[in-house]
């Protein structure tokens, strides 16, 4: 079953619930899972720390976009990846709040950029092993 990890800066719990529900719906639809498999889909939210200009992100945390969604699963065809990426990126762009990146920007009234960059990374699971062994591709959308 698919495992999803969403790397993002602090999201409220209510927002995480909405995002999780929508990601499960998208996963079931685009990966053509049976209805009962929705309960076997795992979603993990990984909160990234706020970074100042001089800070570097932790090496293990992807930082290409505002959000990085890692999808780990079996039989991820290019067609399924494209369908999932299209729907997930559109959903995250509309559901996730946009904020200026730091307190100083907020205090000065600097508005958030209009578009978000959302990166998707797909990892294929070996049929015999439950650990990812191959990074298939990465897609970023602004």
Tokens of 110: 């600097």
What are the domain boundaries of the chain? 3-50+61-141
DSSP code per residue over 51-105: --TT----TTS--SSSEEEEEEESS--HHHHHHHHHHHHHHHHHHS----SSHHH
Alpha-carbon distance 36 to 47, whole Å?
29
- Report whether 142 contacts 98 (CB < 8 A): no
Contacts of 104 (CB under 8 A, 6+ apart): none
CATH fold, domain 3-50+61-141, is Macrophage Migration Inhibitory Factor (3.30.429)
- For 24-34, the pLDDT digits (tens) are 999 999 999 99
Q: How far apart are CA 132 and CA 121, in angstroms?
A: 12
6 membership: H or E segment, kind and range: strand 3-9
Phi, psi of 31 (to 5 degrees): -95, 5
pLDDT in tens, the chain (142 residues): 789 999 998 889 999 999 999 999 999 999 999 988 888 899 999 998 765 554 455 444 445 557 899 999 888 899 999 999 999 999 998 876 555 455 665 566 665 554 567 888 998 876 655 444 444 445 565 5
Q: Tell me phi and psi for residue 71, to 5 degrees.
A: -115, 120
- What's the pLDDT at 96? 65
pTM of the entire structure? 0.69
């Amino acid at each position: 079953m698919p495992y999803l990890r969403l790397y993002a800066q602090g999201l409220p719990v209510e927002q995480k619930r909405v995002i999780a529900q929508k990601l499960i719906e998208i996963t079931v639809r685009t990966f053509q899972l049976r209805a009962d498999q929705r309960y076997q889909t795992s979603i993990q939210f990984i909160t990234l720390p706020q970074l100042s200009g001089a800070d570097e992100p932790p090496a293990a945390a992807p930082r290409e976009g505002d959000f990085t969604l890692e999808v780990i699963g079996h039989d991820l065809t290019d067609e399924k990846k494209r369908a999932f990426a299209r729907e997930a990126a559109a959903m995250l762009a509309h559901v996730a709040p946009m904020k200026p990146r730091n307190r100083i920007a907020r205090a000065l009234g600097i508005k958030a950029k209009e578009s978000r960059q959302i990166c998707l990374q797909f990892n294929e699971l070996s049929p015999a092993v439950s650990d990812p062994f191959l990074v298939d591709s990465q897609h970023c959308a602004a």
